Structure 1
Amino acid sequence: MAMKSCCFTGFEWSGTPSGKVGKLGQIDSYIAGDNPDVVILMIHDALGWTFPNGRLVADHLAKEANATVYLPDFFFGEVIDPAIILSGDLSKFDFAGFLQRQGREVREGAIFEAAKELRKTYKKIGAIGYCYGGWAAFRLGAKEHNPPLVDAISMGHPSLVTTKDIDEVAVPVQILAPEHDFVYTPELKAHTLATIPKLGIEFDYHHYPGVEHGAFIRGDDTKPGERKAMANAKTAAVAWFNQHLH
């Protein structure tokens, strides 16, 4: 499933991230929290690791789920200008080239290695991905990994997901799904709901009526419905990780 232009619209929230910048292996990373035993690997959306909204979500997860949160730069230095994206004018943006440079096949190995690096230090590992990061969360929780790379996964409005990703998930999985999503399509949602309950793993699915793809990381917090969805999705992810990482 390809990403659509709706992945590149949204709003920037107010607030100042309170974490620090460091390294995960050789990858530049935003780091929030300081739990020595529990960590959450956050895979960013198309706006990357520097976009303030993602860092603010990482801060919330670190504090409320009592975890260290790593938000690495999985685009390895490429930064999309948020002003262009948030304006909705994509005429200056090479969408196809971006996917060629940053697609699944290009970045999967680095994401796996990041989880392996964290496993050396932490006793419990969660992973959460938004939009672009959604496929990565599924792949981190795939049955091919023995021992598992992560202990539980969550994702909001995932992109680039295939039915095979859904079929092969093998750790507790949470999905935060807007009602209107042209990327995580009704067909993929139906396959998810028909397949995962048969896999013998814990499954937590949240449907958010009236909101669109991107709402949980790039939604307009001046709109009452989107503010509520953002807050509820964050709270759901916190509860999920508190359940499975502590």
Structure 2
Amino acid sequence: MFTIVLHLLCVTLCLQLQQGLSGPQCLEHPPNLNGTSGAGSVIKVGGLKAYVTGPPRSKVAIILASDVFGYEAPNLRKIADKVASTAGFHVVVPDFFYGEPYNPNNTQRNMTVWLKDHGTDKGFEDAKRVIASLRNKGVSRIGAAGFCWGGKVVSELAKGYYTKAAVLLHPSRVTLDDIKAVKTPISILVAQFDNGTPPALMKQFQEVLTTNKVDNFVKIFPGVSHGWAVRYAEDNATAVKSANEAHQDMLNWFTKYVQKR
């Protein structure tokens, strides 16, 4: 009986990895989506609902691609507000899941089923629509950052010239082949304890990017695990400090490659 259960768990984990997740770590510490607010507002951008914040007429914009819990996550909106208020970026957080973020309590829509409707390939296509909409409104320089699920979406954008710079924060299912195809300056911020993007793999990422002469910044944050940059607990001072450090690194990258060039 134990062998059967273990086999089923392994099959489930493999399916999750194939669909773009780093296993159970991607679902730890889900946010409370009730009563989400923020300094910005929700409008349509490229046909998608999006949380937007910062100067609406700015010529520089940042797109934040969420993890599986979606664009309403309170911490994600706080990060968007921080990026907007600190550097004057127009920040867009699209609802890539069309009102259906992953709900761990919905037993009828487990992760494997949910991802069939919300794969990163679809997110990539939607992200291109958002970028086109921003450009049509006069935005001349765009950066993109992705958390977990969103990290894969942003890695796809980085393979073309859709954005001026990319930041991946504890991304899921980003492979060495993905990194070999990256063309734009990219920062990869990961946790010491991460099943999907372990430190050894990050060393390979950095070596490839450097060999390909792609500007890069790869950083491993000690003592934290996958998801820490967006699903941190507000009452955990250590977690908040580490998350804030990652946010500042992200902001520095965008200031260098999106705002000042």
TM-score normalised over the length of structure 1: 0.88
Q: Which deviations, in whole Å up to 9, do the C-alpha atoms of 1:179-204 show, x marking residues without a partner?
A: 00112234532321221111212111
- Cα RMSD after superposing both structures: 2.1
What 5-or-longer segments of structure 2 have no aligned partner?
1-16
Structure 1 residue aligned with 2:141: 124
Larger radius of gyration: 2
* Equivalent pair of 2:80/2:93 in contact (CA under 8 Å): yes
Are 2:217 and 1:204 aligned?
A: yes
Query: Which amino acid in 2 is paired with 1:239?
Result: N
Quote the Cα distance in structure 1 between the aligned partners of 2:121 and 2:214: 27
Does the CA contact (< 8 Å) of 1:119 and 1:149 recur in 2?
no
Structure number with the bigger relative contact order (C-alpha 8 A, sep ≥ 6) is 1
Match for 2:135: what amino acid? R
Cα offset for 1:11?
5.7
How far residue 103 of structure 1 moved from its aligned partner, in angstroms, is 1.3
- The aligned counterpart of 1:73 is 95
Contact 1:134 1:157 in 2 (8 A): yes
Moved more, 46-55 or 184-193: 184-193
Counterpart position of 1:112? 128
Q: CA deviation at 1:15?
A: 8.9
Percent identity over the alignment is: 26
Equivalent pairs counted in the alignment come to 236
1:230: which partner in 2? 243
Quote how far apart the aligned CAs of 1:46 are. Answer: 0.6
More moved, 197-206 vs 128-137 = 197-206
Runs of 4+ in 1 over 6 A off after TM superposition: none
What secondary structure does 1:217 align onto?
coil
Q: Are the structure 2 counterparts of residues 91 and 179 from structure 1 closer, same or farther at C-alpha, using a change threshold of 3 Å?
A: farther
Structure 1 stretches of 5 or more lacking a match? none
Distance 2:130 2:254 in 1: 19
Q: Secondary structure at the match of 2:91?
A: strand
2:116 corresponds to 1:100: yes
- CA–CA separation in structure 2 for the residues paired with 1:223 and 1:93: 31
Greater shift in the superposed pair: 235-244 or 183-192: 183-192
Name the SS for the 1:191 alignment partner: helix
Give the C-alpha shift of residue 78 in structure 1: 1.1
TM-score normalised by the chain length of structure 2: 0.84
Aligned to 1:33: 54
